[in-house]
Amino acid sequence: MTPPLGKDLLALEPLSADQIQLILDTAEPFKEISERHIKKVPTLRGATIVNLFFEASTRTRISFEFAEKRLSADTVNVASTGSSVSKGETLVDTARNLEAMRIDMVVIRHGASGAPAFLANRIESNVINAGDGTHEHPTQGLLDLLTLRDHYKKLKGLKVCIVGDVLHSRVARSNIWGLQKMGAEVAVCGPRSLLPSAIDDFGVRVFNRIDEAIQWADALNVLRLQLERMQLGYIPSLREYNRVFGVSRERLERAKREVLILHPGPMNRGVEIDSDVADGPFSVILDQVTNGVAIRMAVLYLLSGGKPELAEKAKGEA
């Protein structure tokens, strides 16, 4: 039997292939709920979920909010910018306050790697990592896996290349661990200054040119290039980046077969990805968004297992 997921979902790296499979399989029936007229099931009725976003994010937060509301949970959004050092309240105090308010689940996005783990070790509530620093973004990794599986009907042996600033990308890391666990072959393509120096130790192929990556891959996961990288001396210019690494229609057409295009969003059109690719026939970017809600519902469902306190609350409505 697949071991239970535990209290929290903090990362994909520690999960087994079975556990990842469980989440992907559980997401399937949840897709259907979003197609219904009444997009709601009573599963998490009485549960309180806090979306604790220390970094601004519209799409991830909304996706989680839909997932929570469609499961009938009560949600509260807390947006807070800045690290605990610049703000008044430390993460420890935030954790204690949440505990005191008897929150059932916390969805946290934070600029510091390890912040969700920090929180999870200190409170009883379920903690879901919605992206921490450059560490992981597990639900994004999962929805990318689901999207690939929908299209190719399998993950084992699939060739996926992650393109762009892998060094600073939590989405890249979650994808690398998730894909490897499920038996896919992973490659990266980007300027060496934006790849982690230890990448070779992880069994990941490195392509220096995007054309080589396109020839090899079944799918490309194109990462957003943050514009600040230029200022910090990692790459010379956006123009050069686009010329050398940009995913364009011409390049894709030179591939021997169709290459699926994924992007975690938001996109810098014309930088890492051209518009006609993002909007083109090989793009599954919008499917990723749809799958995102289903994956997040599945994760919330799976983590919220068996807590008598929830039963008490629900009985109150009998």
**What are the residues binding another protein (CB under 8 A)?**
4, 13, 25-26, 28-30, 32-33, 36-38, 40-43, 46, 71, 83-85, 90-92, 110, 112-115, 117-118, 132-136, 170, 173, 196-199, 201-202, 301-302, 304-308, 310-311, 313-314
Minimum CB distance to another protein smaller for 221 or for 248: 221
- How far, in Å, CA of 62 to CA of 203, rounded? 35
Residue 29 CB, shortest distance to another protein, in Å, is 4
Minimum CB distance to another protein smaller for 146 or for 252: 146
Q: Which helix (H) or strand (E) holds 147?
A: helix 138-152
Residue 271 CB, shortest distance to another protein, in Å, is 23
Longest Cα separation, the chain:
64
Pairing of strands 74-79, 105-110: unpaired
Minimum CB distance to another protein smaller for 22 or for 260: 22
The phi and psi torsions of 270 (rounded to 5 degrees) equal 90, -5
Residue 277 CB, shortest distance to another protein, in Å, is 28
Which ranges of 206-248 would DSSP assign to H, the alpha helix? 210-216, 228-231, 238-245
Minimum CB distance to another protein smaller for 80 or for 83: 83
Residue 50 CB, shortest distance to another protein, in Å, is 18
- How far, in Å, CA of 275 to CA of 261, rounded? 12
Residue 304 CB, shortest distance to another protein, in Å, is 8
Minimum CB distance to another protein smaller for 251 or for 296: 296
Q: Which residues does residue 52 pair with via DSSP β-bridges, in sequence order?
A: 78, 108
- How far, in Å, CA of 9 to CA of 139, rounded? 9
